[in-house]
Amino acid sequence: MMKLHTPLASALLVGLLATSFSAQAEGDWKKGRIYYRMVCTACHAAQGLEAIAPIGKTKAEWTAYLTADKHAKGKETVKYFVSKKYRESVKDTNKAAAKYLNDSDADLMEDVRAFIIRSAKDGEVPASCS
């Protein structure tokens, strides 16, 4: 009987460890919120563009948008606006861009993604950016 429990216990342990690692791989939604609000939302407002509150789309719609990586109707990429190159270009006038200047592009993109998905219309905590 002990032999039956050993594989089961091992499988449960592996599952718990995998869940722990996958949770750690997710972005920091709090950092993503700061960047999104202070960079993305502020830029849209300054240019007189439409609001881009996360609550305006579902998680699936945001995921599709981020996967397509097309900003401004395909004229630019979403990733550019979290890139070090972009942060460098606005750091003198944007505190969040300056604060996260040394973050990797991939990590910061994951942070922003975590905030958007968490705050989407059907997310854990739907949020506007007013």
pLDDT (mean) for 94-101 = 97
The alpha carbon of 89 is separated from its chain's Cα centroid by a whole number of angstroms, namely: 21
As for how many domains the chain has, the answer is 1
In a domain, 10, yes or no: no
Reading the block at residue 126, the tokens are 């739907």
Distances (CA, A) of 62 to 53, 79, 98, 127: 11, 14, 26, 13
In a domain, 67, yes or no: yes
Q: What is the pLDDT of residue 52?
A: 86
In a domain, 95, yes or no: yes
Higher per-residue pLDDT: 94 or 22: 94
Any bridge partners for residue 71, and if so which? 76
Alpha carbon dihedral 91, 55, 115, 105, in 10-degree steps, equals -50
In a domain, 106, yes or no: yes
Residue partners of 3: CB distance under 8 A and separation at least 6: none
In a domain, 129, yes or no: no
Q: Which domain holds residue 111?
A: 27-119
Residue at 115: amino acid letter: F
Q: Residue 23 pLDDT > 60, yes or no?
A: no
In a domain, 85, yes or no: yes
In a domain, 12, yes or no: no
pLDDT digits (tens, 9 = 90+) for 45-91: 888 888 789 999 999 999 999 999 998 888 999 999 999 999 999 99
Q: What is the pLDDT of residue 22?
A: 37
Q: What is the pLDDT of residue 14?
A: 42
Q: What is the pLDDT of residue 49?
A: 86
Q: Is 124 within 8 Å of 59 (Cβ atoms)? A: no
In a domain, 15, yes or no: no
